A and B are shown apart, each in its own frame.
Chain A
Amino acid sequence: MIRPVASPEPLLELAGVSYAYADGSVGLAGCSLAIGRGSRNALIGANGSGKTTLFQHANGLLRPQAGQVSYGGQAVDYGRAGLRRLRSRVGMVFQNPDHQLFSASVREDVSFGPLNLGLSDAVVRRRVDAALEAVGMAAAADKAVHHLSFGQKKRVCIAGVLAMEPELLVLDEPMAGLDHGMQDELLAILDGLHGRGITLLLATHDIDFAYGWADAIHLMAAGRCVASLAAADLPAQGERLAAVGLPLPAVVAIHRVLAAKGLVPHQPPRSASELLAGLEIHLSPKETPCLVA
């Protein structure tokens, strides 16, 4: 029995959304999904399963050919004013930073979104500084974009969207192309944003990362969301994962073996570090009572 993700107040909702591209390829085929306000969501699926198409619907870049997209409980209005409202609330970070950054300087590019909102220069300047600070790029504000590393460009992309102060941040495979250290740094940034109340939805192929980080995991296959699961329930969903070609998180598989031997508690850990902590507690020498003569 799958426990649906607890989302008392869905921020973004797709109901039976379908979209096919001009060349006939199917992007979404009756996709239904709800993203709860303030939650961390991971969208997992194979290449071509419809993740990017779904993201483009979230931001209003694509309009459903069938079904409905709702934001904040109301159907999205695809008029000029409605799209403006939606895009100021839903920020989208593209997978390839070179597809998103088109100004030549960091500060200019980050200012692009808030200036489009019609804010004054003084407010934009303040937001740009705050956004660059939030992603740890304040020192590179006056650099040229082409002088940045791939990871730095990704951060600038996030800053460019953060400066618009969105409620929902949608990130298309943010970890792709980043080394381990950069992934950790990006993770810290995302945790910081979540701490500020921003709802996060990201696409990933990494089930281990999704299990450790997300509150809710949405499985995509053939243009549909085949399951939305609370991440904590994932260990019991091996069959569901296998149906979309995903393995159980490695930490769950290892935990099962260790738990069967009684080496760790039965509660499945969410990460390798949690597993190690449980193991260390079990293996540490038991304290012996001190006998006072």
Chain B
Amino acid sequence: MLIEDAAYGNRWRRVSPAAKAVFALAGLAAAFAAATPRAGLGVSLALVAATVFGARVPAGRYLRVAAPALFFLALSGLSLVFSLQPDGVGGGLAFRATAAGLESFATVGSRSLGALAAMLFLVLTTPLLDIMGLLRRCRTPEVLLEIMVLCYRSLFVFAAAVQDTRTAQAARLGYGSPRLALRSLGQLVANLTLQVWQRAQTLHGAALARNNDGPLRFLPASFAHGRRDVAAAAAAGVALIALARGMA
């Protein structure tokens, strides 16, 4: 919901999703073009600034969304920096930081930060619905889009179903002990499976009731100033790539 709230509440909500996608793609390209850690960090900072100061996504929310990815980045950094080497005393092995490892982490880490910032820019400023609309305009196969739409909608429907079932179980001491919790969790999963089946049947009926005969058709969203926004995003993207190359 953090991402959802930011995507719907930022200043660039009504900017064309194509423009935001162009800028995010340029951000990815710039991150890969950054040959030095300094350039990678420069690209990352520019993207974070665009998200936090440009689109006005609150910095605290940004950090909370980025935290899991940063944690995994740090974890992978450890495996790059430290390697198993002979300890030189008794013929044993020991973990040691190496200069090559540090250099490699600095380069890969800064590029990854840039790529992460580019992706966060897109998802924190653009609701998934707009991204799906954009994918539809880019001629993505309908079946993939339909699966995306249904999964996205189902995510919230089932989140509510899980919450309701869990509350009902907790109200009857279903999570009173580890043994009971395990049992309740099993029942919840089993119940949810049944609900998935029933819900699929009902939604199929609802689609038929509105004259559906196969493919799911939806009206694409329209954005004013689409061309202008894309041109501006492309120019900003080129500047970002130039920054990455210039700082190398």
Contacts and interface: CB of A to CB of B under 8 A. Distances in A.
A112 B218 contact: yes
Interface string B209-248: 1111100111111000000000000000000000000000
Contact of A103 (B8, B127, B153, B156): B153
B87 interface: no
- Chain A CB within 10 Å, residue with most, of B8, B207, B218: B218
Contact of A104 (B128, B199, B213): B128
A102 B153 contact: yes
Interface residues of A, number: 40
Contacts of A104: 128-129, 132, 149, 152-153
Interface in A112-148: 112-113, 115-117, 121, 124-125, 128, 142-147
B211 A116 contact: yes
A145 B150 CA distance: 12
A109 B203 CA distance: 12
A112 B4 CA distance: 23
B83 to A, nearest CB: 46
A102 B209 contact: no
A17 interface: no
A60 B217 CA distance: 21
A116 B213 contact: yes
Interface residues of B, number: 31
Interface string A71-102: 00000000010001001100110100011111
Contact of A145 (B153, B211, B218): B153
Contacts of B4: 144, 147
Contacts of B218: 103, 105, 108-109, 111-112, 115
Given A117-B211, A146-B156, A112 B205 contact: no
B210 A160 contact: yes
Nearest to B148: A104
6 contacts: A59-B209, A91-B209, A91-B210, A98-B157, A100-B203, A145-B156
A102 B203 contact: yes
Nearest to A100: B206
Interface string A48-67: 00000000100101000000
A3 B171 CA distance: 51
Contacts of B128: 104
A144 B207 contact: no
A91 B211 CA distance: 10
A186 interface: no
Chain A contact residues, majority secondary structure: helix
Interface string B127-139: 1110010000000
Contacts of B199: 99
B202 interface: yes
B45 interface: no
Interface string B194-210: 00000100110111111
B211 A87 contact: yes
A164 interface: yes
A43 interface: no
B211 A105 contact: no
Nearest to A92: B209
B206 A164 contact: no
Contact of A102 (B207, B217, B219): B207
A102 B216 CA distance: 10
A161 interface: yes
Contacts of B220: 121
Contacts of A144: 4, 8, 127, 129
B156 to A, nearest CB: 4
A56 B208 CA distance: 11
A228 to B, nearest CB: 24
Nearest to B132: A104
A218 interface: no
A105 B129 contact: yes
Given A92-B209, A124-B219, 5 more contacts: A102-B153, A103-B216, A109-B218, A111-B217, A161-B210
A260 B217 CA distance: 61
B211 A84 contact: yes
Contacts of B210: 87, 91, 112-113, 116, 160-161, 164
